[in-house]
Structure 1
Amino acid sequence: MSELREIRKKSEEELQGQTNEVASNLDQEIIQPTSREVVFSMSLEEIKERFPVRYGIYLKSLRANKTGTEIPESEKEEMQEWLSILNNLDTYINNHKTNGKEITLRERQLTVFEDMRDFLEEGGKEGYIKLPTGSGKTVIFSEFIEAIGVKTLIVVPTKILVGQTEDGTLNPDDYRCLILDEVHTALSEKRSDAVGKFNKAIKLGFTATPKYSEHKNVEQLLNTEIHSLNVREAAEEGVISPFSVVIAQTNIDISGVKVKNKSGEYDEYELQKAINIQSRNQSAVELYQKMFDGQLAVVYCMGVKHAKNVAKLFNDSGISASVVHGNQSIKEQQIILEKYKQGEIKVLCNADILVAGFDEPRVSVCLNLAPTLSPVTAEQRGGRALRLDKEDKDKHATIVDFIDRNENKKVQPITFAEITGASVVYPSSKFRDSKSRIKEGGGKTIQSPEIEIEGLKVTTNSEEVMRIVVTMMEGRAEPAPEGWMARTPLATKLGLGKETVNEMVDKYRQQHPEWFHKYLDDKNRINEYYAPELVALAEEKVATRKYAPQGWITAGTLAKKTSASRSKIFGIADKYRNEHPEWFEGYLDKSKHSYEHYSPELVQKIQSEVETQVKPPSGWATSGILNKKSKPTVGLLAISRMAEEHRQQHPEWFKEFLNEMGLMCEHYSPELINIIEGKIRERKKIPAGWVNNNTLAIELGFAPVTTNRIAEQHREQHPEWFEWYFDHQGRNFEYYSPELTGIIREILITREKAPIGWVTKKFLAKELSMSPQTIHRRAEQHREQHPEWFKSYINKKGGLFEHYSPELVKTIKEELKSK
Structure 2
Amino acid sequence: MTLSLRPYQRAAIDALYDYFGGNTGNPLVVMPTGTGKSVVIAGFIREAIAAYADTRVLVLTHVKELIQQNFMALLRAWPEAPAGIYSAGLSRRDIRAQVLFAGIQSIHRHAYKVQRCDLVLIDEAHLLGRGDSGMYRSFLAQLNEVNAGLLKVVGFTATPYRLDSGLLHEGKDRLFTDIAYEVSVLNMIRQGYLSPVVPKQTETQLDVGGVGTRGGEFIAKDLEAAVDRDEVTRAAVAEIVQHGEGRGSWLVFCSGVAHARHVRDAIREHGVSCETVTGDTPAPERDSILTAFKAGRLRCVTNANVLTTGFDAPGVDLIALLRPTKSVGLYVQMVGRGTRLAEGKDDCLVLDFAGNTARHGPIDMVDGRKREPAGDGDAPIKVCSACQTINHASARRCIECDEEFPPPAIKVSPEAASNALLSTQIQASWCDVTGVTYTRHEKPGKPASLRVTYDCGLARHSEWVCFEHTGFPREKAVGWWQRRAPQLPAPSSVEEALQHIEALRQPRAIQVRPLGQYTEIVSARFE
Identity, in percent, stands at 21
- Whole-angstrom CA distance in 2 between matches of 1:300 and 1:155: 26
Q: Which residue of 2 aligns with 1:400?
A: 351
Mapped contact 2:58–2:120 kept (Cα < 8 A): yes
Q: Which residue of 2 aligns with 1:766?
A: 482
Mapped contact 2:321–2:354 kept (Cα < 8 A): no
Q: Which residue of 2 aligns with 1:194?
A: 139
Mapped contact 2:384–2:391 kept (Cα < 8 A): no
- Whole-angstrom CA distance in 1 between matches of 2:487 and 2:227: 48
Whether 2:105 is the aligned partner of 1:155: answer no
Matching of residues 213-612 of structure 1 within 5 Å: 213-219=163-169, 220-248=174-202, 250=204, 253-260=207-214, 263-293=215-245, 294-389=247-342, 391-392=343-344, 394-403=345-354, 417-421=361-365, 450=386, 459-464=388-393, 470=416, 497-500=441-444, 502=446
- Whole-angstrom CA distance in 2 between matches of 1:148 and 1:264: 40
Mapped contact 2:15–2:181 kept (Cα < 8 A): yes
Bigger relative CO (Cα 8 Å, ≥ 6 apart):
2
Mapped contact 1:369–1:401 kept (Cα < 8 A): yes
Q: 1:123 to 1:764 in 2, by over 3 A?
A: closer
Offset of 1:223 from its aligned partner?
0.2
Code of the residue aligned with 1:129 in structure 2: it is: V
Q: How many residues align?
A: 360
Mapped contact 1:378–1:415 kept (Cα < 8 A): no
Q: 1:764 to 1:340 in 2, by over 3 A?
A: closer
Mapped contact 1:264–1:373 kept (Cα < 8 A): yes
Whether 2:62 is the aligned partner of 1:110: answer no
Q: Which residue of 1 aligns with 2:118?
A: 176
- Unmatched runs of 5 consecutive residues or more in structure 1: 1-100, 405-411, 423-446, 452-458, 474-494, 505-522, 526-761, 775-814
Mapped contact 2:29–2:180 kept (Cα < 8 A): yes
- Whole-angstrom CA distance in 1 between matches of 2:415 and 2:244: 23
- Unmatched runs of 5 consecutive residues or more in structure 2: 50-54, 64-101, 367-382, 396-411, 420-438, 449-458, 462-477, 491-521
Mapped contact 2:392–2:417 kept (Cα < 8 A): no
- Whole-angstrom CA distance in 1 between matches of 2:229 and 2:105: 42
1:492-540 CA-partner distances (Å, limit 9, x unpaired): xxx9952435599xxxxxxxxxxxxxxxxxx999xxxxxxxxxxxxxxx
Q: 1:141 to 1:154 in 2, by over 3 A?
A: same
- Whole-angstrom CA distance in 2 between matches of 1:157 and 1:288: 32
Q: Which residue of 2 aligns with 1:208?
A: 158
- Whole-angstrom CA distance in 1 between matches of 2:109 and 2:272: 49
- Whole-angstrom CA distance in 2 between matches of 1:335 and 1:128: 34
1:13-62 CA-partner distances (Å, limit 9, x unpaired): xxxxxxxxxxxxxxxxxxxxxxxxxxxxxxxxxxxxxxxxxxxxxxxxxx
Mapped contact 2:361–2:418 kept (Cα < 8 A): no
Q: 1:415 to 1:364 in 2, by over 3 A?
A: farther
- Whole-angstrom CA distance in 2 between matches of 1:372 and 1:469: 22
Whether 2:40 is the aligned partner of 1:140: answer yes
- Matched residue SS, 1:138: helix
Mapped contact 2:211–2:218 kept (Cα < 8 A): yes
Q: 1:272 to 1:464 in 2, by over 3 A?
A: farther
1:462-488 CA-partner distances (Å, limit 9, x unpaired): 224999994769xxxxxxxxxxxxxxx
Q: Which residue of 1 aligns with 2:374?
A: none
Mapped contact 1:245–1:460 kept (Cα < 8 A): yes
- Matched residue SS, 1:367: strand
Mapped contact 1:340–1:348 kept (Cα < 8 A): yes
TM (norm. structure 1) is 0.40
Offset of 1:344 from its aligned partner?
1.8
* RMSD (CA atoms): 3.8
TM (norm. structure 2) is 0.60
- Matched residue SS, 1:205: strand
- Matched residue SS, 1:500: coil
- Matched residue SS, 1:222: coil
Mapped contact 1:245–1:399 kept (Cα < 8 A): yes
Offset of 1:195 from its aligned partner?
2.0
Offset of 1:115 from its aligned partner?
1.2
Offset of 1:126 from its aligned partner?
1.5
Q: Which protein is richer in helix relative to its size?
A: 1
Q: 1:360 to 1:403 in 2, by over 3 A?
A: closer
- Flag the structure with larger Rg: 1
Mapped contact 2:108–2:139 kept (Cα < 8 A): yes
Q: 1:255 to 1:322 in 2, by over 3 A?
A: same
Mapped contact 1:399–1:416 kept (Cα < 8 A): no
Q: Which residue of 2 aligns with 1:520?
A: none
Mapped contact 1:130–1:207 kept (Cα < 8 A): yes
- Whole-angstrom CA distance in 2 between matches of 1:171 and 1:370: 40
Mapped contact 1:152–1:178 kept (Cα < 8 A): yes
